[in-house]
Homo-oligomer: A and B are copies of this chain.
Amino acid sequence: MPERARQTVPVVAVVLAAGFGTRFDPSNPKQLVCIADKPIVCWSIEAFEGNERVSDIVLVVNPKVRPAVESLIDEQGYGKVRIVVDGGAERADSTAAALNVLSEAAIPSDAKILIHDAVRPFVSQQAVDDSIDALDQFSAATVACASTDTVLLTRDAGDRKVVSAVPDRADTFRAQTPQSFRFSTITRAYELAAADPDFHPTDDTRVVVDYLPDEPVAIVAGSETNLKITTLGDIPTAELIAAGLNASR
């Protein structure tokens, strides 16, 4: 596909930085913690700011960190960050807030939307490019890593979990981000999910898989370095990855 064809639609990165992460450090939200002297949220913004195929960035924050994040954006001069949106209580509320803003901005229905967790600061350019490319063939895609462990699916049996199935290991993946969608696909899936009072999505891919079951979601190869920083115990590994990335640049 010629380069021009790929670039006829906007490519929008939605960076979700709305989690409070108080398990982490109540006085210092996780997104603002520095790894190799750079706040986690800046690592994530720069992954898209520095990719020439990404046209725009929407940043979703919790209101408490908004002033700090806006200062960082000004200081660093991140020119692609078009808007900073307040997130909601759940991850899905934050995605929905970003989709609303994009609807109000009347972006084209075939725009490519890359939804990324800010706490995965080391996403590779390969994964970003492959996500953008996958949307030429599919309307939805997710970065994921093949599981090296056998996965067990379970059900409740009294106060215990028991195994209900053991899928083939070759067909089990661990989801990462970005999770990428044509704009019309993700907005349609969220509309259907919003009409279902029983649904509390924790993952954008699942919204498409459950509400648009005929829409295949492609797997894009992730990597172990695309670490999700969840607890303080993840910091030493994150520092090692950051040092490796800084050394290779």
Known contacts A157-B216, A209-B163; A173/B151 CB under 8 A: yes
Residues of chain B contacted by A205 (CB below 8 angstroms): 150, 152, 163, 166
Closest to A207 in B: B166
Q: Please state the number of chain copies in the assembly.
A: 2
A218 near B151: Cβ-Cβ < 8 Å? no
B153 near A172: Cβ-Cβ < 8 Å? yes
Task: Output the least CB separation between A201 and chain B (Å).
Answer: 9
Q: Is A202 at the interface (CB under 8 A from chain B)?
A: yes
Determine the distance from Cα of A163 to Cα of B155 in the docked complex, in whole angstroms.
21
B152 near A174: Cβ-Cβ < 8 Å? yes
Q: Is the interface of A mostly helix, strand, loop or mixed?
A: strand
A171 near B151: Cβ-Cβ < 8 Å? no
Stretch at the interface among A8-16, A141-149, A180-188: A141-149
Determine the distance from Cα of A167 to Cα of B161 in the docked complex, in whole angstroms.
15
Q: Is A206 at the interface (CB under 8 A from chain B)?
A: yes
A202 near B169: Cβ-Cβ < 8 Å? yes
Q: Is A210 at the interface (CB under 8 A from chain B)?
A: yes
Task: Output the least CB separation between A5 and chain B (Å).
Answer: 20
Residues of chain B contacted by A162 (CB below 8 angstroms): 138, 216-219
B175 near A153: Cβ-Cβ < 8 Å? no
Determine the distance from Cα of A218 to Cα of B152 in the docked complex, in whole angstroms.
11
B150 near A151: Cβ-Cβ < 8 Å? no
A–B complex contacts, Cβ < 8 Å, 28 sampled: A148-B230, A149-B174, A149-B175, A150-B205, A151-B172, A152-B172, A152-B173, A152-B175, A152-B219, A153-B167, A154-B172, A154-B219, A155-B171, A157-B216, A160-B219, A161-B219, A162-B217, A162-B219, A163-B205, A163-B209, A163-B216, A163-B219, A164-B171, A164-B209, A166-B203, A166-B206, A166-B209, A166-B210
Interface of A toward B, CB cutoff 8 Å:
138, 142, 144, 147-155, 157, 160-167, 169, 171-176, 202-203, 205-206, 209-210, 216-219, 228, 230
